[in-house]
Amino acid sequence: MKSLQAYRFALDPNDAQLAGLSRHAGAARFAYNWGLARVKAALAQRDAEASYGLTGDALTLVPWTLPALRLAWNAAKHEVAPWWAECSKETFSAGLDQLVRGLKNFTDSRKGRRRGRRVGFPRFKKRGKARDSFRYTTGAYGPATDRSVKLPRIGQVKVHEPMGALTGRLADGRARLLGATVSRTAGRWFVSFTIEVEREVPSSPSRRQCAAGPVGVDLGVKHLAVLSTGETVANPKHLAGSLRRLSRASRAYARSKPASVGRRKRAARLGRIHARVAHQRRDGLHKLTTRLAKTHDTIVVEDLHVAGMVRNRHLVRAVSDIGMAQIRRQLTYKTRWYGSTLVVADRWYPSSRTCSGCGWRNPSLTLADRTFTCHSCGLIADRDHNAAVNLKHLVAASASETENARGGDRKTALARQVPVNREPGTAQAGQTGSAVPPRTAARQRLTHDS
Ligand SMILES: [Zn+2]
């Protein structure tokens, strides 16, 4: 199986290279904005022509595709960007490519071919507001040595950490380089290489013999995760310190005067620490998801809270919500690589409110309760561990559901016991007898198939 993979490294550019990186990001943005203006002008022209009664081929063509936009750009660049030769031509292409994707997302979304939130018409990118990035797909870019990358027109830029894992794979032909994206996050430049690797997919049956059974995963903040096996996966080494600095920096930011120089500095500092925390957690999550996908045949995680439903202002929750999205994304492709299965629990499945021993539900459990105490069977368990075990139990429940799938309306045992309360502590918690029909607790998606 061929699969795509990315390697991302922090760059340590010198001053001249730093200027080059900014210039290239600016050039990509310039091409994007130029193309957008061109598309908008052509659309307006068409509208006007249509109002005179013109139709079909008589109407002005809108440069809607990458080849059309590139052609137009090459004809116009001497005029609109006499400095174009200072930048790699790849960066202008990258800007136009971003625009084409934006246009495609817009039309797909309007025609119902795209899931998720509605996508609006592309908007102009503003310097300092838009994300700085550009991309190479052809030419002499790539790792130059173990510790440096070659970026055309910018030079040989030092990389912050050794790239052995990538250069080794490229050298012996196990991987092929497809492109490199250079971008800036919280004041720091990164390069991300997209590569194509040939992977052998372990066939599931033979694999299952040596793999451990299902495992439930509950993400925390104090710990990275708690598994249904009882194992507590610790946070990456330096995360605690970063989290402390993060709350201090956000307090300092909140106290600063709006629109002051101090506020801008504190915002930049806050952004840097946020990026650091995100990196450290992502690193820890990668190690965890690889291990899980390799050793267990089924992994059960919670669904994420959909965007906009929980705009949690508590720092701690926000951090773990982001982790949830990452763990799920990583497991989606890693389970495919290693031949295991990912199960995502129903959004409303109250994994932390349910007793993993007898199924009793505690409607009054709050986020502050770190221990789950069952009033029915007397089980006392760590909150996160209890949740992880419940997630694991879903696999057994879903197996019985699959067998009876033809019925369509069959509810699992879990769902029949008690009507589901809405989990994230909304007003409905506690009204067990509400008019909400019982949902299928174990309704879930096997993302493995999608
Ligand atoms: Zn119980």
Domain locations along the chain:
2-7+139-198, 15-110, 212-235+269-449
Q: Which of 97, 297, 302, 423 is catalytic?
A: 302
Q: Place 69 in a pLDDT band, splitting at 50, 70 and 90.
A: very high
Q: Is the pLDDT of residue 193 over 70?
A: yes
- pLDDT, averaged across the chain: 81
272 Cβ contact list (under 8 Å, min separation 6): 186, 187, 188
**302 counts as catalytic:** yes
95-109, 302-316, 335-349: least confidently modelled range:
302-316
Cβ(300)–Cβ(392) below 8 Å: yes
pLDDT at 186: 85
Cα of 385 from ligand 1 centre, angstroms: 14
pLDDT at 418: 28
Higher pLDDT, 401 or 114: 114
Cα of 418 from ligand 1 centre, angstroms: 13
Structure tokens at 427: 């007003």
Cβ(186)–Cβ(212) below 8 Å: no
% of the chain at pLDDT higher than 90: 43
Q: Which of 218, 297, 346, 423 is catalytic?
A: 218
Cα of 380 from ligand 1 centre, angstroms: 8
Cα of 354 from ligand 1 centre, angstroms: 8
Cα of 219 from ligand 1 centre, angstroms: 22
**218 counts as catalytic:** yes
Give per-residue pLDDT as tens, 147-175.
Answer: 999 999 999 999 998 998 899 889 888 88
Enclosing H/E stretch for 213: none
% of the chain at pLDDT higher than 70: 81
Q: Which of 90, 132, 384, 423 is catalytic?
A: 384
Cα of 379 from ligand 1 centre, angstroms: 5
CB atoms within 10 A of CB 426: 10
Q: Is the pLDDT of residue 298 over 70?
A: yes
**What values do phi and psi take at 323, rounded to 5?**
-60, -40
307 Cβ contact list (under 8 Å, min separation 6): 117
Say which residue the tokens 């906009």 belong to.
308
Given strand 2-12, what is the order of strands in its sheet? 133-136, 175-185, 188-198, 2-12, 155-159, 148-151, 142-145
pLDDT at 148: 96
Number of alpha carbons in the 13 Å side-chain half-sphere of residue 263: 7
Cα of 351 from ligand 1 centre, angstroms: 13
Residue 126 burial class via C-beta count within 10 angstroms: exposed 0-12, middle 13-18, buried 19 and up? exposed
Classify each residue of 266-297 as buried b or exposed e, where b means 16 or more C-beta atoms within 10 Å of its C-beta.
beebbebbbbbbbbbbbebbeebbeebbbebb
Higher pLDDT, 326 or 106: 106
Q: How far is CA 307 from the centre of its chain?
A: 12
